[in-house]
């Protein structure tokens, strides 16, 4: 069996061991890895992937999607407003919606094209100044704005906890914000903490290194 395929199935087993309800879906994060590294997973039947850069996704995914049209691609990196149109053509889900200007631009493109990816709002749970994401203090109002003013398909939340902290309180906070806003999708947990995220209610875990190896 191919290494990445074996790694993925081991992660699935670990998730089964910690999840009481339904298993979180595994998003394979292929950033920095070439299409040739992603192909074995597609061939094995895996369909859920993510990239963090629009340009890199454009270089790899149109070709892959030609052969695997059922593949689902998430954007998990910051999105500049001038790349919105490209992103909306390439991605099925955008996980990094985090400011009004971006919401406005996505709504504008949706009105032009008639299509919109599903959206997750990125929350900067650690309130780190250098990190993308909306502050937990502003998130409730922002969710309302996206839904009511722009009529955007906001399905849930995403977070990246501060690297130097225990992730559990951040996952718990994201879950609390999702619950009080009646949002179902919770994208949280990466290679080092996906089991913790799963035990705290993640519906999606985003895993790069533990599948593809060191970047
Ligand atoms: C790279 C990345 C991941 C995956 O990280 P690993 O530690 O390699 O599993 C998950 N989420 C985001 C937003 C990323 O940029």
Determine the length of the chain. 215
Q: Which helix (H) or strand (E) holds 143?
A: helix 139-144
Distance CA 75, CA 91 (A): 6
Give the residue, out of 53, 206, 210, with the most ligand 1 atoms within 8 A of its beta carbon, to mutate for a pocket test.
206
Per-residue pLDDT of 154-185, as tens digits, reads: 999 999 999 999 999 999 999 999 999 999 99
Q: CA dist 117 to 25, 40, 136, 158, 200, Å?
A: 18, 26, 24, 15, 26
From the CA of 113, how far away is ligand 1's center (Å)? 30
Of 30, 20, 159, 6, which Cα lies nearest the Cα of 96?
Answer: 159
Give the residue, out of 14, 28, 50, 188, with the most ligand 1 atoms within 8 A of its beta carbon, to mutate for a pocket test.
50
Per-residue pLDDT of 19-65, as tens digits, reads: 878 899 999 999 999 999 999 999 999 999 999 999 999 999 999 99
From the CA of 20, how far away is ligand 1's center (Å)? 24
The reported pTM is 0.97
């Amino acid at each position: 069996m191919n290494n990445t395929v074996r790694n993925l199935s081991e992660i699935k087993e670990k998730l089964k061991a910690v999840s009481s309800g339904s298993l979180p879906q595994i998003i394979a994060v292929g950033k920095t890895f070439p299409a040739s590294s992603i192909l074995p997973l597609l061939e094995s039947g895996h369909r859920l992937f993510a990239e963090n850069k629009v340009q890199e996704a454009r270089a790899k995914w149109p070709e892959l999607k030609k052969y695997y049209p059922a593949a689902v691609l998430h954007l998990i990196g910051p999105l500049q407003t001038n790349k919105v149109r490209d992103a909306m053509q390439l991605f099925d889900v955008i996980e990094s919606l985090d400011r009004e200007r971006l919401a406005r631009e996505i709504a504008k493109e949706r009105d032009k094209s008639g299509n919109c990816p599903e959206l997750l709002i990125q929350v900067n749970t650690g309130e780190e100044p250098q990190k993308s994401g909306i502050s937990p203090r502003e998130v409730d109002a922002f969710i309302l704005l996206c839904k009511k003013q722009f009529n955007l398909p906001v399905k849930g939340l995403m977070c990246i906890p501060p690297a130097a902290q225990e992730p559990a309180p951040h996952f718990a906070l994201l879950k609390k914000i999702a619950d009080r806003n009646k949002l179902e999708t919770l994208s949280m947990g990466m290679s080092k903490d996906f089991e913790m995220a799963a035990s705290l209610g993640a519906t999606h875990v985003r895993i790069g290194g533990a599948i593809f190896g060191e970047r």
